Amino acid sequence: MACPGADQGISGVIVAQTLRIYTFPEPVLRAKAEPVENIDEDIQRLIDTMGETMYGAPGIGLAANQVGELKRIIVYDLTPRSEGRKLSALINPVIVKAEGEIVHDEACLSVIDFSADVTRHAMVKVQGVDREGKPADIEAEGLLAVCLQHEVDHLNGVLFIDHISNLKRALYKRRLKKMQKAQALEER
């Protein structure tokens, strides 16, 4: 998820090693990520670079699909701008319980220049493993619940724009095409 109200433009600042964030309608965002069987060095490195990429964007959550890796890994930090950042990583997350309803204005690092109200569960229980391979059992509500549902969706090839009305989505697609056309002209 993007930071609320964040400018997604290029900041001109290069932070550590970051990965390319794939954006809609690239097919990797529609693919289902595979479970992680082995939490090896490559997975640790991927988690670290996903974290740097998320902080650099800036965003509060990122799923591996978004950096072109079809692995069931998400990272998140609800306060990415504050001192003492604490990156959380969840491997093979599964939503095992969901209750209530919350409406939140969502944005996504993979959906350029758009946000919309999405209705989700107000409380979720998510199970998975952390980066050390220890079982993780998270009960979340509010923004964290929204963020976890948004990121787990990514692992299943689902984007927040799939949760809005057909009309709103069609309008966004049309606007995106116009933006891309204008950009192509500029680059000529």
| Residue closer to Ni ion, measured from CB, 3 or 108 | 108
108 binds Ni ion (CB under 5 A): yes
39 binds Ni ion (CB under 5 A): no
Quick one: which segment of 84-92, 102-110, 137-145, 169-177 binds Ni ion (CB under 5 A)?
A: 102-110
146 binds Ni ion (CB under 5 A): no
- Minimal distance in Å, beta carbon 6 to Ni ion? 13
What is the C-alpha separation between 98 and 101, in angstroms, rounded?
9
- Minimal distance in Å, beta carbon 187 to Ni ion? 26
What is the C-alpha separation between 32 and 77, in angstroms, rounded?
23
Residue nearest to Ni ion as judged by C-beta position: 108
Residue 53 has φ and ψ, to the nearest 5°, of -65, -40
Which stretches does DSSP call E strand in the chain? 61-63, 73-76, 88-99, 102-108, 111-120, 123-129, 135-141
Residue 99: active-site member: no
Binding residues vs Ni ion (CB under 5 A):
108
